[in-house]
Amino acid sequence: MDMTNNEIKAKLTDFSEIVQHLPENLQQTAFGKLVDNWLLSGGVAPAGPPAGKPNSPRPANTSVEATPEEMSNFFNAHPNQKPADNVLLIVAWLYNQHGNLAFTPAMVKPVAAEAGLVIADRCDNTMRQAAHKGKQLFSKSGNGWKLTLAGMAQVAEQYKVRPGRKPFLDLDASTN
């Protein structure tokens, strides 16, 4: 079924209204499951390219890790930010690659170093305090911080990203 962007936004808004009545600790999981089930049931099929643009599908990147060129393009599109904004930018990159994980400083710092971004030493405090329009962008999850619904909406709007599905390879954990 072909849907326009407005129809997709309306459907996602409906899901958001459904889960807002649940306890806060269940909202993200419930929203994710609703979206996943909807997508798996064939709820969305892109309406095609905008008029006047050739239909050139983006080649699928089957590798687990992003190429240096992809990473460079993403970070170069958002230059000269404050250290706190750089943490959110890195989280947006990780979210775009791997979905909504519990982001830890151990995940954020190597990306900052590779991208040449300046971040605070305690980026976990940055995530703890991050808010937009009075809504927290992160919630504590285990040893890390997960994006809240407001956080996912903020990074999607600000950085034009969608949740990725690549598995996150924690090389430090596999070497122990």
pLDDT of residue 53: 41
pLDDT of residue 44: 52
pLDDT of residue 26: 72
- Class of residue 152 by CB neighbours under 10 A (exposed 0-12, middle 13-18, buried 19+): buried
CB 78 within 8 A of CB 159: yes
Show pLDDT as tens, one digit a residue, over the chain (176 residues): 466 777 777 877 887 888 777 777 777 777 777 777 766 666 554 344 444 444 433 333 333 467 788 888 898 898 878 999 999 999 999 999 888 888 999 999 999 998 889 998 899 999 999 999 999 999 999 889 999 999 999 999 999 999 988 877 654 444 34
Helix pair angle (5-19, 24-40), 10° resolution: 140
CB 118 within 8 A of CB 83: yes
CA 100 → CA 13, 28, 76, 82, 153, distances in Å? 19, 9, 23, 23, 12
CA 124 → CA 13, 104, 119, 145, 168, distances in Å? 30, 7, 11, 8, 19
The helix/strand/coil state of 135 is strand
Q: List the helix and strand counts (H, then E) for the chain.
A: 8, 6
Q: What does pTM read for this prediction?
A: 0.60
Rounded Cα distance, 176 and 171, in Å: 9
pLDDT of residue 62: 35
Rounded Cα distance, 49 and 53, in Å: 6
pLDDT of residue 32: 76
Residue type, 155: V
Q: Which two tokens stand for residue 100?
A: 């909504």
